[in-house]
Amino acid sequence: MVRGQALSKEQEEKLPELAKRFEQGEDIETLERDFGLPRSTIYYYMKQMGVKRAKRGVAKVSRAPSAEQVVRKKEGEELASEAEKITTIAMGIGGPIARRYMPLIDRLMSEGKPPDAIAEEIMGWFERKNSVLLEIEQKQTKITQLEEELSIAYALAHSNLKYLLKLRSLEKFAIQALRLRVAGFKVPIHTLVRAYQNDLETIERDMGEVVEVKTVEAVVPLE
């Protein structure tokens, strides 16, 4: 099969216009001159794009079109517009993709895959990639929500735990004072109060260190 010459980026961008003028039956010599392409290259790319050249014939006497003809003409215009749009998009997107992934495309074609199957495979991969990225984003949002909920729960647990430790400390010193009183000893209130205050300071210091460790763990990213 004869292959057309490689096109520059500017020539690729003009392919939709070339296809339109070729389809309308414009002289090949004019197209060769205007687009700077040899005849064989023009026919090659038009065949690849599925563009058929209009046949010129003897002019017929015009008459009012029927309703069916009007509908068909409208449908044809819409299809032509859609085809031009698809061609423009295909050339705009297909060119960069083909240049970037040419080794991959050559390998797939050597395996017997037609261009449309290759395009479907590439776009299918792109759709799957977007789906995975969306799922990752949703999971990251969920993780952020859970971290916020855990942070609130931790703050509540921290306060409750500190209160419980202080209450246990008070209970411990109260029991000691009662035991000394029952045993007939003089209760050293000042000593017990001081010991209790030391216990409270220890609880505050230890709980503060727990908060600092938790904050560092939240800031430093995991490797």
Instruction: Give pLDDT, residue 177.
Output: 79
In this prediction, the residues of the chain whose per-residue pLDDT falls under 50 are 1-2, 58-62
Structure tokens given for 2? 């004869």
Q: pTM above the 0.75 mark?
A: no
Instruction: Give pLDDT, residue 60.
Output: 42
d(CA 117, CA 121): 6
Instruction: Give pLDDT, residue 89.
Output: 63
Report the candidate in 57, 58, 51 with the shortest Cα–Cα distance to residue 23. Answer: 51
Instruction: Give pLDDT, residue 214.
Output: 59
What lies within 8 Å, CB to CB, of 49 at 6+ separation is 15, 19, 87
d(CA 82, CA 138): 36
Instruction: Give pLDDT, residue 86.
Output: 65
pLDDT in tens, 127-176: 898 888 888 999 989 888 888 887 887 777 778 887 888 888 888 878 87
* Residue-range domain boundaries for the chain: 1-52+69-100, 146-219
Instruction: Give pLDDT, residue 110.
Output: 92
Contact 161, 207 (CB under 8 A): yes
